[in-house]
Structure 1
Amino acid sequence: MTDDTSDDNRVRLQKALAHAGVASRRVVEDMIVAGRIRVNGEVVTELGSRVDPENDLIDVDGTAIQLDTTKRYVMLNKPTGVVSSMKDEQGRTDLRAFTADWEERLYNVGRLDAETSGLLVLTNDGDLAHVLAHPSFGVTKVYIAKVRGEVLPRTIAQLTKGIELEDGFIQADKARLLDSSRGSSLVELTLHSGKNRIVRRMMAAVGHPVTELVRRQFGPLHLGPLPIGKARELTAVERGALLTIAREAKS
């Protein structure tokens, strides 16, 4: 009988991936032989290969696999009236109300202002949080804004061309008009900026103040049907997409 572990905490690759929920050991072995798995950037085809789950980086078909089971990745549909903080010094409703289901100490990745609802990522993975939150890595966010007034096509063009705010020039990666009627409009904005209240300030600058704002997408994550005020762990596919972004940013 062959031991799957060794004294230096290295385990057989197929065991590590089966434990991570990728597939059964038999299916993982087929993946290894087919050259679909990389360890630290190198394709591995030997069935006897061993890995260190705490330090080695593994991907299957180019998608990163989470082996460290101490890390948690949670999506929250933040309601309005909640501040993006784990402990608000002013006693306002904060994010602790939504993290009781997890023993780990989670932190929010970036912020949504109190009156903005939508997708917020909570995690205890500091490296990932840094990549997702820092604008230099270009992770985009998609917002839907309800604004006053009927937005014209030239205003949409102005948002993508760029405008000058008090703290510098800013432009949307993408902008499109979803609806315009009865004195209000729905505008979808895609941005990678991390500036404070940026959507509200941009829309005010073009003459259409925001009355409601929701973030629907953060990088590869989509809010989908998650109800307001509910949180859930990311799926394996979602985790893989985020980890892939983080690893590519490091490299």
Structure 2
Amino acid sequence: MRSSGSGSSRNGGRGNYRGAGDNRDQKQGQGRPRKPRPEERRYDVAPGAPQDGPKSGRGGSARGGAKGGPKQSQERGRGRTTPARSREYEARTEERNRERYAGRKQISPPKTFPGAEQEGERLQKVLARAGYGSRRACEELIEQARVEVNGEIVIEQGMRIDPEKDEVRVDGLTVATQSYQFFSLNKPAGVVSTMEDPDGRQCLGDYVTNRETRLFHVGRLDTETEGVILLTNHGELAHRLTHPKYSVKKTYLAHIVGPIPRDLGKRLKEGVRLEDGYARADHFRVVEQTGRNYLVEVTLHEGRKHIVRRMLAEVGFPVDKLVRTAFGPITLGNQKSGWLRRLSNTEVGMLMKEVDL
């Protein structure tokens, strides 16, 4: 009796466990679909194949979420693309929008800074265009009280001026606020001092053919004379630099054959009589001597034709070679023969100061 009871309890226990498991599977099946076992899975070979087909090939499981295939959420959402609109539809939409806003009053946005309605141009912008650096650098020049407008020092930022009328100076030197250009050319020997030559000879215009604005030369140099010659489109500056009233000095190096007397410089400074009047040198010195060959420096403010050659020939020393090394404050330096260089702002200011501009 005891053994049967114990046996029944053991058997009953097993039966109760199995029964509970079956009931649990049924309860889970009622809430959500039961996941099929591997032997119960079905594979479709191809569209239209019977449902009870062979278990081979890649079918819906590969296409619908199995590893290696796209998920259905991607197929439903991300994979879809909006159809493009036709050009005719876009044109009609644009036309409707234009008709809708055609009668509305146009609104102008407010000014972004005070005083924008004022006439003129900001001072720092004018200085930046003239080549004094960035606008911030030009603002620092104003802060340092180095800028003058019409004779008065400017310390306030944002001042507006008329570049055509107002006179601007930096460190006492006039600024070319307009679109002027200034160049220095080391003219080689054999180049004619004209911008165009009807005989086809090499001339100054050959060195500035790629310039948009028309340039002209300041003064002249003999065809065989080398050295500094200025080119610009500033007419008033060019006129004053060559006018006898302003007495702009030019410096020349001349090669002559000696021996030369000690009083040669004194004679040139006192004046040499030429066919068109007396000519006087402002300065004379011997730069170099090699045997009988002398390299002398002559400075004068006159600009008559062949003036240096004629003066030295009159005192008995014809010139073999002549080079102009300076025109006012503009010096030749190490500029090579035939090279054209743009003058700096400081050099332009010094030129203008030379002739009271």
Do both proteins adopt the same fold according to a TM-score greater than 0.5, normalized to the shorter chain?
A: yes
Deviating beyond 6 angstroms after TM superposition, the runs of 4 or more aligned structure 1 residues are none
Q: How far is the alpha carbon of 1:116 from its aligned partner?
A: 0.3
After TM superposition, the structure 1 = structure 2 runs for residues 5-154 of structure 1, keeping only pairs within 5 Å, are 6=117, 8=119, 10-69=120-179, 71-154=180-263
* Counterpart-to-counterpart distance in 2, 1:32 and 1:206: 54
2:296 is the counterpart of 1:187? yes
Distance 1:42 1:147, change over 3 A: same
Between Structure 1 and Structure 2, whose CA radius of gyration is higher? 2
Q: Residues 78 and 4 (structure 1 numbering): CA distance in 2 closer, same or farther, change over 3 Å? A: farther
Tell me the residue number matched to 1:174: 283
Deviation at 1:104, TM superposition (A): 1.6
**Aligned-partner residue type, residue 196 of structure 1:** K
For each residue in 1:144-167, what CA deviation from the matched residue of structure 2 results, as whole angstroms up to 9, or x when unmatched? 000122222211111112111111
The answer to which structure, 1 or 2, has the higher relative contact order (CA under 8 A, 6+ apart) is 1
Structure 1: which amino acid aligns with 2:113? T
1:197 aligns with 2:303: no
**Distance in 1 of aligned mates of 2:346 and 2:318:** 37
Kindly indicate whether residue 335 of structure 2 is the aligned counterpart of residue 220 of structure 1: no
Structure 1 counterpart of 2:153, which letter?
Answer: V
Structure 1: give runs of 5+ residues left out of the alignment.
none
Q: 1:4, 1:12 within 8 Å by CA — same for their partners in 2?
A: no
SS of 2:212 mapped into structure 1: coil
How far is 1:124 from its partner? 1.0
The structure with the greater share of residues assigned to strand is 1
Whether contact under 8 Å (2:249, 2:300) holds in the other structure is: yes
Q: Distance in 1 between matches of 2:189 and 2:117?
A: 51
RMSD of aligned alpha carbons: 1.9
Match of 1:2 in 2: 113
Moved more, 215-224 or 35-44: 35-44
Name the structure where helix makes up a greater proportion of residues. Answer: 2
The whole-number CA distance in structure 1 between the counterparts of 2:278 and 2:146 is 44
Deviation at 1:7, TM superposition (A): 5.8
Partner of 1:232: 341
Once residues 56 and 137 of structure 1 are traced to their aligned partners in structure 2, the CA distance between those partners, rounded to angstroms, is 23
Residues 4 and 118 of structure 1: CA distance in aligned 2, closer, same or farther (over 3 Å): farther
Aligned equivalents of 1:4 and 1:117: distance in 2? Answer: 53
Q: Distance in 2 between matches of 1:56 and 1:235?
A: 21
Aligned residues: 246
Residues 66, 243 of structure 1: 8 Å contact kept: no
Displacement after TM superposition at 1:86 (Å): 0.9
Shift of residue 4 of structure 1? 7.7
Change (3 A) 1:37 1:230: same
Residue 168 to residue 236, structure 1, CA distance change in 2 (3 Å): same
In 2: Cα distance, 1:171 partner to 1:47 partner: 50
